[in-house]
Amino acid sequence: MRNQLRKRLLITIPILLFVTLFNFILISLAPGDPVDAFFNPNATAADLEAKRASLGLDKPMIYQYFVWLGNVLHGDFGYSYSSYEPVTKILSYRIGPTLLLMGISMLVAYIIAIPIGIISATKQYSALDHTVTGLSFIGISVPSFFFGLFGIFIFSLNLHWLPTGGMYSLGKAADFGDRVKHLILPVAVLSLSISGKMVRYVRSSMLDVLNQDYLRTARAKGLKEVIVIGRHALKNALIPIITVIGLDIPLLIGGAVVTEQIFQWPGIGQLTIQSINSRDYPVLMAINLLSALFVVASNLLTDLAYRIVDPRIKE
């Protein structure tokens, strides 16, 4: 088991290298360069050259990549082309809001979806099951921007219950109630789509388990149905759900681009859009690396969780 984990860990290195290199190449293919976009129109060609040289943009692409990589390994992600602040600093105040938003959304989604999926499966083909299945389809079929706009239209513009966006009202940054109000709509949007997926998964996982021989054995012992479901079926049905949660974890970083944009939530997603618009490549590279790290780390965590929870995986 140790060895296997070590192997998994080693595989992540080429993965991260490849992902960053891919993005680096992609970015260097972009027409024009950031110097054109952000420099004073009065600057001379010589000024531009000097600026380009100072940013290292005159060197071959692969050389630039290794310079970037070397710096990253020293914890240096460079400076933003547009705000001239260190990239690490920009990320550090963007990551909190995103984690807050996505964390709460995932939590809400799971708390709703897991029990509903289970109940729906045990009552397969009932009216409740049909309703749940129908709603989960809506959850995966409504794009988040439309749901978000709709929410703003109703709850902010017509009913005036909730703010249209942002993370807090002016001067109320530490006000808990105010923060909750700002969270409700974006959390609703995000958790609708997360739970739509989850309900469907939990339900089908539970249906699989309900057909297993060992449930018949449990019933043959005379166990109450509550125990047959709650003890014998539940654990088996929930184990594969680890995979889905593992696949959701990277959304903590990159899952809220659209939602953050609609609600002007000052997180990584909004930063991504801004950086793309301003060709702020150091920031983009850092965001990419960060999200790739999340993907790789959550794969490892998923593996680990299986080893802990599932007795079928032998050492």
Partner 1 sequence: MDTLLTVDNLQVAFNTDDGEIVGVENVGFNIKKGEVLCIVGESGCGKSVTALSLMGLLGKNGFIKQGDAFFDGHDLRSLSSEEMRKLRGNRFSMIFQEPMTSLNPVLTVGRQLLEPVELHLGLKGEAAKKLCIEWLEKVGIPRPEKVFSDYPGTLSGGMRQRVMIAMAMICSPSLLIADEPTTALDVTIQSQILDLMEELRLESESSILLITHDLGVVAETADRVLVMYAGQVVEEADVFELFENPQHPYTKGLLASIPNVSDDFTERLKSIPGNVPSLQNMPKGCRFCERCSFSMDVCKTEVPPLFDVFPNHKMRCWLGDNK
Partner 2 sequence: MDNSNSVWRRFLRHKPAMIGSIVFALIVLSAIFAPLLTPYSPYELSQSFEAAPSSEHILGTDLVSRDVFTRLLYGSRVSLLVGVGTVIVYVIIGGILGTLAGYFGGWVDSLIMRFTDIIMSFPFFIVILVMVSILGPAMSNIIFALGVLGWPPIARIIRGSILTIKNQDYIKAGRVLGYSDLRLIFKHILPNIMAPILVNATFGVSNAIIAESSLSFLGMGVQPPRSSWGNILTDAQSMTILAHEPWLWVPAGLMIVITVLSVNFIGDGLRDALDPKKIQ
User: Is 160 or 312 the residue whose CB approaches partner 1 more closely?
Assistant: 312
3 binds partner 2 per the rule CB under 8 A: no
**Count of beta carbons in the 10 Å neighbourhood of residue 3:** 7
Q: Which stretch binds partner 2 (CB under 8 A): 9-17, 33-41, 88-96, 98-106?
A: 9-17
In the list 80, 98, 236, 261, the residue contacting partner 2 (rule: CB under 8 A) is: 261
How far is Cα 149 from Cα 283, in angstroms, rounded to an integer?
28
138 binds partner 2 per the rule CB under 8 A: yes
Q: Of 306, 299, 189, 307, which is closest to residue 249 (Cα–Cα)?
A: 299
Amino acid at 274: Q
219 binds partner 1 per the rule CB under 8 A: yes
In the list 120, 195, 236, 291, the residue contacting partner 1 (rule: CB under 8 A) is: 236
How far is Cα 314 from Cα 307, in angstroms, rounded to an integer?
8
Partner that binds at residue 253, options partner 1, partner 2, none, CB closer than 5 to 8 Å by kind:
partner 2
Binders of partner 2 among residues 225 to 254 (CB under 8 A) are 250, 253-254
Q: Which stretch binds partner 1 (CB under 8 A): 60-68, 129-137, 139-147, 213-221?
A: 213-221
In the list 90, 192, 239, 287, the residue contacting partner 1 (rule: CB under 8 A) is: 239
Residue with tokens 């909004």: 270
Residue with tokens 């009202």: 169
Question: From the CB of 221, what's the least distance to partner 1, in Å?
Answer: 4
How far is Cα 26 from Cα 30, in angstroms, rounded to an integer?
7
- Residue 167, burial from CB neighbour count under 10 angstroms (0-12, 13-18, 19+): buried
Partner that binds at residue 278, options partner 1, partner 2, none, CB closer than 5 to 8 Å by kind:
none
Ordered DSSP codes for 250-265: THHHHTTHHHHHHTT-
Chain contacts with partner 1 (rule: CB under 8 A): 212-214, 216-224, 227, 231-232, 235-236, 239, 310-312, 314
